[in-house]
């Protein structure tokens, strides 16, 4: 059996529909060897519904640890999806450093005070080339920060299908080079299929760039409900094999190893 993991799962501790235990049977049915929870943490916004209140972090981690100790047929890992803010690296590090996590996903959702996945109106009337540049710059800063093991949906800026006039390939090349340099994993995030762009992140046209730059990969569903755990994984793994990838990243207490698939 192929070893498969899904490290991007949202439970009701942030904006997922169900409590962590409700995801376990779906993960086993999907043939996963590991499931990792990664609820949203943002240290610098007003508390919003989709983000876990940082005061609940111990409750969340204890919940996952208990669940892990009481479950035999699948490994359960503790992670977070943390919003990155340039210039706030030391504060983020201070918060994360003391936590017993298996992996940390770093994501950029905000540009200014708006999230890029809030609605298409964010893009209307804006220079899309400029938006792409600033979004990729933010992601590259997240990569270079050394705070994260995995970068979440690295081209989320594609979500509503607004396209830049110029070819974005150099941006992907720059991003992939930074990931290699800082030893950060990119995810094929299958949840893009459920969003307006209706395809995975990152753009499959540029997957070969990540392979050429020797960036390690993992496949994640970004599920917000049990039915979407490991959704579209067969297609994602086929796509990676076709592109020439043969190994994926597995994490344990923030130590990475690569296993073949």
Residue among 161 and 170 whose Cβ is closer to Zn ion: 161
How far, in Å, CA of 75 to CA of 89, rounded?
A: 30
Count of residues touching Zn ion (by CB under 5 A) = 4
**What part of residues 51-90 is at the interface with Zn ion (CB under 5 A)?**
81
Instruction: Say which residue the tokens 């890992």 belong to.
Output: 77
How far, in Å, CA of 19 to CA of 134, rounded?
A: 35
C-beta atoms surrounding 164 within 10 Å: 16
Residue among 68 and 191 whose Cβ is closer to Zn ion: 191
- Say whether residue 34 binds Zn ion (CB under 5 A): no
- Say whether residue 107 binds Zn ion (CB under 5 A): yes
The span of 93-101, 146-154, 179-187, 240-248 binding Zn ion (CB under 5 A) equals: 146-154
C-alpha distances out from residue 106 to 86, 141, 184, Å: 12, 11, 10
Quote the least distance from Cβ 244 to Zn ion, whole Å: 27
Residue 52 neighbours by CB under 8 Å, 6+ apart: 13, 14, 39, 40, 41, 60
Quote the least distance from Cβ 81 to Zn ion, whole Å: 5
Instruction: Say which residue the tokens 């201070």 belong to.
Output: 94
Residue 221 neighbours by CB under 8 Å, 6+ apart: 6, 8, 9, 189, 190, 191, 228, 229, 230, 231, 232, 233
> What pairs with residue 255 in β-bridges?
252
In the list 16, 222, 229, 250, the residue contacting Zn ion (rule: CB under 5 A) is 222
Quote the least distance from Cβ 202 to Zn ion, whole Å: 13
68: Cα separation from own chain's centroid: 21
Residue among 141 and 243 whose Cβ is closer to Zn ion: 141
Quote the least distance from Cβ 72 to Zn ion, whole Å: 27
The span of 49-57, 142-150, 151-159, 199-207 binding Zn ion (CB under 5 A) equals: 151-159
Quote the least distance from Cβ 152 to Zn ion, whole Å: 5
The span of 54-62, 145-153, 209-217, 239-247 binding Zn ion (CB under 5 A) equals: 145-153
Quote the least distance from Cβ 109 to Zn ion, whole Å: 6
- Say whether residue 102 binds Zn ion (CB under 5 A): no
**Residues at the site binding Zn ion, with contacts judged by CB under 5 A:** 81, 107, 152, 222
């Amino acid at each position: 059996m192929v070893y498969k993991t899904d490290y991007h799962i949202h439970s009701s501790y942030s904006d997922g529909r169900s409590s962590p235990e409700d995801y376990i049977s779906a993960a086993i049915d999907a043939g996963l060897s590991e499931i990792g929870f990664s609820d949203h943490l943002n240290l610098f916004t007003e508390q919003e519904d989709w983000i876990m209140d940082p005061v609940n972090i111990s409750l969340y981690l204890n919940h996952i640890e208990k669940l892990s100790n009481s479950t035999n047929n699948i490994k359960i890992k503790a992670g977070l999806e943390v919003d990155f803010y340039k210039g706030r690296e030391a504060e983020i590090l201070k918060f994360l450093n003391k936590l017993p996590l298996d992996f940390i996903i770093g994501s950029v959702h905000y540009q200014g005070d708006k999230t890029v996945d809030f609605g298409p109106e964010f893009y209307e009337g804006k220079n899309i080339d400029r938006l792409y540049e600033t979004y990729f710059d933010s992601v590259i800063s997240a990569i270079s920060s050394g705070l994260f093991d995995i970068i979440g949906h690295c081209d989320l800026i594609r979500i509503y299908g607004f396209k830049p006039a110029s070819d974005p390939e150099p941006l992907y090349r720059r991003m992939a080079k930074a990931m290699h340099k800082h030893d950060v994993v990119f995810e094929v995030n299958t949840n893009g299929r459920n969003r307006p762009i209706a395809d995975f992140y990152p753009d499959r046209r540029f997957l070969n760039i990540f392979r050429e730059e020797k960036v390690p990969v993992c496949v994640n569903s970004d599920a917000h409900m049990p039915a979407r755990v490991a959704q579209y994984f067969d297609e994602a793994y086929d796509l990676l094999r076709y592109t020439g990838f043969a190994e994926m990243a597995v994490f344990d207490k923030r130590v990475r190893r690569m296993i073949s698939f």
